Amino acid sequence: MIQLGVNIDHVATIRQARKTFEPDPVTAASLAVLGGADVITVHLREDRRHIQDRDVRLLRETIFTKLNLEMSTAQEIIDIAMKTKPEQVTLVPEKRQEITTEGGLDVISQKKTIMDAIKRFKDAGIMVSLFVDPEENQIAASKDAGAQYIELHTGNYANAKDMATRNKMIEKLQAGVKAAQKLGLRVNAGHGLTYQNVGLLVESLDVKELHIGHSIVSRAVFVGIKQAVSEMKELIFKHNLARKFTV
Ligand code: PXP
């Protein structure tokens, strides 16, 4: 069964709009776990636009599911991750002006930096996932750099405006999964996934975890986060039954 990673960054986005104490992403994480989240994900950005250092610290103390820390390779953030010891870190590119992560990591051009970071994490027993586009050369570079996981960027699938493009993106992601599995990498996927587009992805891709944030937090505004997570879990379960392959 595909595991659900819930990204709670945007609970912190609402809090930071007023720089106050509510809503607390730490409370959201506990409720997300009650709703069935298998993984809790937060992105501690260098500009601290949503998640704060205190959130990461408290999440580590209160969340006993897998904690996945999304981050850049900035030294300051690596040091925080080493202290926090999440089960997994996902390295992502980070640009100051972007609204959200815009594309996968260029592992090829930053191999040395990424390799050094991976080595530190692995020595500390922290699993490393690299967020990459479904491109064979980036996937191969991820393996070379020492990552255990990749997270395939599903943004182009999510943004597809018609069925033909959507199917093409699915084929691209499927090829990416195959290439990664051949190299012995474990594969996650995420970005831009919603209650509307998650089904086809679950039916088509052999992945371990789906990482979903904005859509779940948006629904949570109306139905609460526990229910929003459990509705997403149910969708994944239903479409899992219709999968075209077995794992
Ligand atoms: N995976 C990664 C690596 C991300 O950077 C993000 C966004 O923070 C997500 C998944 C979740 O994307 P979304 O909020 O669009 O569901």
Instruction: Report yes or no: 234 and 198 within 8 Å, Cβ to Cβ.
Output: no
Q: Give the domain extent around 131.
A: 3-246
Q: Identify whether 70 is a catalytic site residue.
A: yes
> Confidence class of residue 99 from pLDDT cuts 50, 70 and 90?
confident
Q: Which atom of ligand 1 is nearest to the CA of 217?
A: 14
Q: Identify whether 191 is a catalytic site residue.
A: yes
Q: What is the mean pLDDT of the chain?
A: 96
Name the token pair of 16: 């930071």
Instruction: Report yes or no: 111 and 138 within 8 Å, Cβ to Cβ.
Output: no
**Which residues, in sequence order, are CB contacts of 134 under 8 Å at separation 6+?**
152, 153, 172, 173, 175, 176
Number of structural domains found in the chain: 1
pLDDT digits (tens, 9 = 90+) for 194-211: 999 999 999 999 999 999
What pLDDT, on the 0 to 100 scale, is given for residue 124? 97
Distance between Cα 192 and ligand 1 center (Å): 7
Q: Identify whether 94 is a catalytic site residue.
A: no
Distance between Cα 69 and ligand 1 center (Å): 12
What pLDDT, on the 0 to 100 scale, is given for residue 95? 78
Q: Which residue has the tokens 């992403």?
A: 25
Residue 98 pLDDT exceeds 90: no
> Confidence class of residue 246 from pLDDT cuts 50, 70 and 90?
low
What's the CATH number where 172 sits?
A: 3.20.20.70
pLDDT digits (tens, 9 = 90+) for 148-192: 999 999 999 999 999 999 999 999 999 999 999 999 999 999 999
Number of helices (H) and strands (E), helices first, in the chain?
11, 8
Ligand 1 contact, 155 CB (< 6 A) = no
Residue type, 66: K
What pLDDT, on the 0 to 100 scale, is given for residue 84? 97
pLDDT digits (tens, 9 = 90+) for 67-91: 999 999 999 999 999 999 999 999 9
Q: Which atom of ligand 1 is nearest to the CA of 215?
A: 16
Distance between Cα 191 and ligand 1 center (Å): 4
Ligand 1 contact, 134 CB (< 6 A) = no
> Confidence class of residue 103 from pLDDT cuts 50, 70 and 90?
confident
**Mean pLDDT calculated for residue range 40-50:** 97
> Confidence class of residue 247 from pLDDT cuts 50, 70 and 90?
very low
**Mean pLDDT calculated for residue range 29-45:** 98
Residue 120 pLDDT exceeds 50: yes
Q: For the chain, how long is the longest CA-to-CA vector?
A: 48
Run of H or E residues at 150: strand 149-153
Distance between Cα 176 and ligand 1 center (Å): 18
What secondary structure letter does DSSP report for 126? -
**Which residues, in sequence order, are CB contacts of 179 under 8 Å at separation 6+?**
136, 139, 140
Q: Which atom of ligand 1 is nearest to the CA of 43?
A: 8
